[in-house]
A = this chain, B = another copy of it.
Amino acid sequence: MLHNFSNSDSYRLFCSVLRKMAGETTANKQIIFQGYISGELRESNMAVKESSIQLKVPEGSEAVLVKNLYLSCDPYLRGMMEETTAKIPRFKPGSVIKGYGVSKVVDSGHPDFQAGDLVTGITGWEEYSLRWKAEELRKIESKGIPLSYYTGVLGMTGFTAYLGFHELCTPKKGEYVFVSAASGAVGHIVGQLAKLHGCYVVGSCGSDEKVDLVKKLGFDEAFNYKKNTDFDDTLKRYFPKGIDIYFDNVGGKMLDAVLLNMRRNGRIAACGMISRHDGHGTDGGIHNLHRVVINNIKIQGFMQSNYLYLLPKFMEIFTSYVKEGHMKYIEDVREGLESAPSALVGLFAGKNLGKLAVRVAGE
Choose among B270, B292, B293, B294 the residue that contacts A293 (Cβ–Cβ < 8 A).
Answer: B270
Question: Known contacts A260-B86, A306-B264; is A290 also within 8 Å of B297 by CB?
Answer: no
Give the distance to chain B from A296, nearest Cβ to Cβ, in Å.
5
Q: How far is the CA of A273 from the CA of B293 in the complex (A)?
A: 8
Give A291 Cβ to nearest chain B Cβ, in Å.
8
Interface residues of A in 268-302 (CB under 8 A from B): 270-273, 276, 282, 284-287, 289-302
Given contact pairs A287-B285, A298-B301, A293 touches B272 in the complex (Cβ within 8 A) = yes
Q: Report how far A299 CA is from B306 CA in the complex, Å.
A: 17
Q: Indicate which residue in B260, B282, B285, B289 contacts A251 across the interface (CB closer than 8 Å).
A: B289
B302-A299 in contact (CB<8A): no
A303 close to chain B: CB less than 8 A: yes
Using known A-B contacts A260-B86, A285-B285, A298-B298, determine if residue A290 contacts B276 with beta carbons closer than 8 Å.
yes
A265 interface hit (Cβ, 8 Å): yes
**Interchain CB contact under 8 A, A292 and B301:** yes
Provide the residues of chain B in CB contact with A287, threshold 8 Å. 282, 285-286
Copies of this chain: 2
A293 and B286 form a contact (CB under 8 A): no
Contact of A296 among B284, B293, B302 (CB under 8 A): B302
Enumerate chain B residues within 8 angstroms of A298, measured Cβ to Cβ: 298-301
Q: Would you call A290 and B306 a contact (CB within 8 A)?
A: no
The one of B88, B290, B296, B300 in contact with A303, judged by C-beta atoms closer than 8 angstroms, is B296
In this complex, which of A264, A272, A273, A294 has the most chain B Cβ atoms within 10 angstroms of its Cβ?
A294
Q: Scoring A residues 294 to 331 as 1 if CB is less than 8 Å from chain B, else 0, what string do you get? A: 11111111110010000000000000000000000000
State whether the Cβ of A79 lies closer than 8 Å to any Cβ in chain B. Answer: yes
Which residues of B lie under 8 Å from residue A88 when comparing CB positions? Answer: 294
Q: Which of A79-98 contact B (CB under 8 A)?
A: 79, 86, 88
Closest to A273 in B: B290
Question: Could you name 24 residue pairs across A and B whose Cβ atoms are closer than 8 Å?
Answer: A79-B294, A88-B294, A251-B289, A255-B289, A265-B306, A270-B290, A270-B293, A272-B293, A276-B290, A284-B285, A285-B287, A286-B287, A286-B289, A289-B289, A289-B299, A291-B301, A292-B301, A294-B303, A296-B301, A296-B302, A296-B303, A296-B306, A297-B301, A298-B298
5 smallest beta-carbon distances between A and B, as pairs: A285-B285, A292-B301, A273-B290, A299-B299, A293-B301
Interface residues of A (CB under 8 A from B): 79, 86, 88, 251, 255, 260, 264-265, 270-273, 276, 282, 284-287, 289-303, 306
